[in-house]
Structure 1
Amino acid sequence: MSEPITAVLVRAAELTAKGLPYKAIDLLRPVLAVNPRHAQAWCELAAALLDVDQPDPALSAAKRALVLDGDHSWAQRLAALALSELGRHREAVVSARECVRRKPGDWRCLVVLADVLAAAPDGRREAVAVAREATRLAPEQARTFQVLGDAALRVGDWDTAEHAYRTSLRLDPENEDVRANLATAWRKRGGKPTASPAHESLTKAHALLWSALTRLAALLAAGDLLLLLAGMPKPTPALAYLAAGLVGACAVTVLTVLFRARRGTRRALLAVPLHRPKVALAGVAFTASTTILVVWTAGLFLGATTMQPLVLSWIFAVLGGAVVVLSGNHR
């Protein structure tokens, strides 16, 4: 029975993420009627209910999850958000603080605490400090900077708000809410937008390149390793076709970036490594890895039987992958 429930929960989470919370609610209610002691299902239902502006039933669902075995920090976060939506700010802050107490290193708990503090008139200053801590714990998460910008906006700290929103947009260039709030920060400050079209193109090019680098990391590290295992102790000519397939997949990944980029963004692609050292470092590693792989593949077709170049290609792929993984999303 656990597998069908798990599949339903995954589907419900996907529906909520796609902006279809009503469908998620319709999917979850029958599951909970049969399995009323499934804490994660109650949390998924509470999250979907919050998305459709139904904080009262969302709070009830979160409370059901709190008395069951499961991730109580998630239930506390949902309860805090529901209480805040209901105008019960003091209770919301208590619930959010309990979440932070349970998981002090979880940036999501800090984000919720900052969110509910910002909604309470006497908690806005603390909200900025809490949001700053969230950005320190998760500098790769756009949401942490968005909440910091929102909190700073409420206390009139326009410079902090602008910097936070800019960082959030760099991590998630598609977030239109953040873009609108950034414009508000500019307007409140009495200044003018400083983001030029060139800056916008650079941000979009950066996002495209980082997405490609993430895929290349998986392709090259895993592909080279599989080729190493398949070629032991001595590679055969048939292995050359597998290696050529890996080279082709890498080429498609790079060409996809050029295909998706618009004219202005294409020009900005060349400038990204100059402004983003981590992109340049990962790009050099993957270029070296792919070049060695191409040479080794050509050698196999010509009758070579050495595996040493493939080992070197894999090492470069792992180094580039380490830069991508340690840097986080769009950094």
Structure 2
Amino acid sequence: MTHEDSALVNARTYLSLGKPADALRALAPHLASNPDDDRGLCLASQAHLSAGQAAQALGSARQAIALTPDNEWAWRLVALAYSKLGNVAEAKAAASTAQAIAPGLWVTHAQVAQVDIAAKRITGDAVEAAREAVRLAPMEPDAHLTVGNVALAQQDWAAAEAAFRASLRLQPDHPAARNNLSLVLLRQGRAGSAAAGFIDILVTDPASEVALRNLRAVAAVALRRIHFILWIAFAIVTVAFSGASQPSDSPVYGLVWQDFLIATAAVSGIFVGVYIVQLRRAAGRRFGRFVRSIPRLDRLLVVWAVLLVGDYALIVAACFTSVRMAQLLYLVAGAFLVAGSIVVIVRRRRSVERVV
């Protein structure tokens, strides 16, 4: 192996290990002595993309195209760089050029679809390109992943699930397919199964920010469902209190209200319990790990959970006191629910800030 080949091999190895900075360091002396090596320039572009340096990636890819205009790899890298920079028109043009240069390569068709996926505007061309990628490479996991991502962007949950499962049949440990399948399950309301998927990803890659973020979303969905059930219980009792006559000291009056409050607490508790059992059954042996992971996922989730537990404790306590005291306890329970809603709003604002 020549010194030049060694530099390229080392760069590819570093990229496969997720170390773009090391890849660029390995390529630097090689490109200094071989500035017209389009392969090295493409690897440098790929490394810049992995490092989040889209402008530098575009520059390296453009240099490669200047040397070899029919280099489909370089054109795909240009498309990726423009997508990262938010220039959809140029990204589409570059992806179409790569597709025209090498129509027999599945990756060129996948790139056409990926431009639309990144732009969050799926066109007919993207759908057709994704299908063509699978037709050309039915045994390639990433081709099926592309079809799944297109369907995910279209909110076609059934098609997305089928595509991601096809990808995982070919490569069971495919991280993107595992993550996106769990995301689809979450969108379908199958929070327990989604949690199990994200937990499995974190077992193999504890530093996965994507899996952690999505696991936070699962926890939020579960708490939101419980929050809704408790709001319903609070609303029913509040309406009953407001529509009733003034509290009476009559034992019969107190017994009627006590039975009503006990029934409300029991029914709401059953609904919450059934939902938790469904979560546990779907998550399987990962359920305990999921619950234990909530404190490290987001402190606001812990605050939210504590408020909901406190709310239900007040609902139960109201069953075993006077009517006047029950009204007071429900007033406090309502404050807990409002505080929980404020936590939801704060979390949403923080999520928007993270995306930006």
TM-score by length of 1: 0.56
- Letter of the aligned partner of 1:43 in structure 2? C
How far apart are the structure 2 equivalents of 1:129 and 1:162? 18
Paired residue total: 195
- The answer for the alignment partner of 2:79 in structure 1 is 80
Deviations 1:56-77 (A, max 9, x none): 0000000000011386101001
How far apart are the structure 2 equivalents of 1:186 and 1:124? 24
The answer on 1:130 being equivalent to 2:129 is yes
How far apart are the structure 1 equivalents of 2:126 and 2:17? 29
- The answer for the alignment partner of 2:186 in structure 1 is 187
- The answer for the alignment partner of 1:216 in structure 2 is none
How far apart are the structure 2 equivalents of 1:147 and 1:157? 14
RMSD: 2.1
Deviation at 1:194, TM superposition (A): 7.7
The answer on 1:120 being equivalent to 2:128 is no
The 8 Å contact of residues 118 and 124 in structure 1, kept in 2 or not, is answered as: no
SS of the residue aligned with 1:44? helix
List aligned pairs for 1:82-161, cutoff 5 A. Answer: 82-161=81-160
Deviations 1:182-206 (A, max 9, x none): 11112223357789x9xxxxxxxxx
The 8 Å contact of residues 80 and 91 in structure 2, kept in 1 or not, is answered as: yes
Unpaired segments ≥5 residues, structure 2: 197-356
Higher RCO, 1 or 2 (CA under 8 Å, sep at least 6)? 1
How far apart are the structure 1 equivalents of 2:164 and 2:192? 12
Deviation at 1:150, TM superposition (A): 1.0
Deviations 1:262-306 (A, max 9, x none): xxxxxxxxxxxxxxxxxxxxxxxxxxxxxxxxxxxxxxxxxxxxx
How far apart are the structure 2 equivalents of 1:116 and 1:141? 19
Q: Percent identity?
A: 36
Deviations 1:29-82 (A, max 9, x none): 121111111111100100111111111000000000001138610100111001
The 8 Å contact of residues 141 and 168 in structure 2, kept in 1 or not, is answered as: yes
- The answer for the alignment partner of 1:22 in structure 2 is 21
Deviation at 1:112, TM superposition (A): 1.1
- The answer for the alignment partner of 2:32 in structure 1 is 33
The 8 Å contact of residues 77 and 96 in structure 1, kept in 2 or not, is answered as: yes
Unpaired segments ≥5 residues, structure 1: 198-331
The answer on 1:12 being equivalent to 2:14 is no
191 and 128 in structure 1: CA distance in 2 versus 1, 3 angstrom threshold: farther
How far apart are the structure 1 equivalents of 2:97 and 2:44? 21
- Letter of the aligned partner of 2:73 in structure 1? W
How far apart are the structure 1 equivalents of 2:69 and 2:13? 20
The answer on 1:65 being equivalent to 2:30 is no
